[in-house]
Structure 1
């Protein structure tokens, strides 16, 4: 039987499963960048909880920056296909180790856009950490260097992921109920 939340939502990954996987990802990132400095770039708004937890799991010297992009129309479960930069980086990344932290790698449009943009700034290295990977939806060929969980084509909410700005505060990753639209 599937686990459900107090709101009756079906839980795909519990907060404990998420915490353990994020801890493992942080350990791997720390090993890969041992002795190096790191700039962690969170993709707002969905990646904020993941970035916060992942940053506490890495042991390398790390700083934060944020970008905001838009590819979904309000109230839609599908990407518009066009990615628009809403908030750019505050600090230069030239010559730095960069880790783009994203909640979900879906079509690949957003991360392909950001990768191209960031590579123009000539970082020392550019890696991607995605909490969720949905390879069946890929339109742009891009892979994350660090993946929390691979999932089928499901619309998920919670742990930063939303539907029309709702559900971001759920501590678990849940399936979007069909009747909630």
Structure 2
């Protein structure tokens, strides 16, 4: 299935305007919270790239940017194993306040893994910000500290989230109607 066919079989859940407004509101909150701090900001690749690209320029406190790359998905299906692809070196994490940015809090396993991993590496504190929080109807191992928009328990793509490898670049958030 190509992108045009995918979009024709989908509906917009959140428009780009709604997403941008949410990111702006989150930036205001983060700017108040971290006003006098120097924070290590870690987007989770690949999905958080658009979110980070829109949020980070709105942050007015001092930041250092690195990234974290871990996934528990293979061919769009969640697995029980988290694959660690890249993490910042210990010296970049130790005694630092860290803000992890992720596209969506779905089951929560990957974000919980990342937070625990950073704390073990000596982070002073780890906060999490997600653009979307999916209501999955059961408890999650982690709750995000900062949430942009709540999403119902449906398959979504766009603004960083993909559908079988396509659609991450869409400005809106879509739900696929199969």
Both structures adopt the same fold (TM-score exceeding 0.5): yes
C-alpha change, 1:137 and 1:107, in structure 2 (3 Å) is farther
Identify the residue that residue 20 of structure 2 maps to in structure 1: 19
Q: Secondary structure at the match of 1:127?
A: strand
Greater relative CO, 1 or 2 (CA 8 Å, sep 6+): 2
Identify the residue that residue 83 of structure 1 maps to in structure 2: 82
Runs of 5+ consecutive residues of structure 2 not aligned to the other structure:
1-5
When normalised by structure 1's length, the TM-score is 0.88
Residues 120-158 of structure 1 deviation map (CA, whole Å, 9 limit, x = unaligned): 122222100001111425564210010001111111100
Is the Cα–Cα contact under 8 Å of residues 106 and 137 in structure 1 kept in the other structure? no
Q: Trace 1:1-181 onto structure 2 (pairs within 5 A).
A: 7-8=7-8, 9-74=10-75, 76=76, 78-90=77-89, 92-136=92-136, 138=138, 140-178=140-178
Runs of 5+ consecutive residues of structure 1 not aligned to the other structure:
1-5
Shift of 1:100: 0.4
Q: Secondary structure at the match of 2:68?
A: strand
Shift of 1:87: 1.5
The Cα RMSD (Å) is: 1.8
The CA distance in 1 between the partners of 2:68 and 2:124, in whole Å, is 19
When normalised by structure 2's length, the TM-score is 0.90
Is the Cα–Cα contact under 8 Å of residues 159 and 168 in structure 1 kept in the other structure? yes
C-alpha change, 1:177 and 1:142, in structure 2 (3 Å) is same
Q: Secondary structure at the match of 2:35?
A: coil
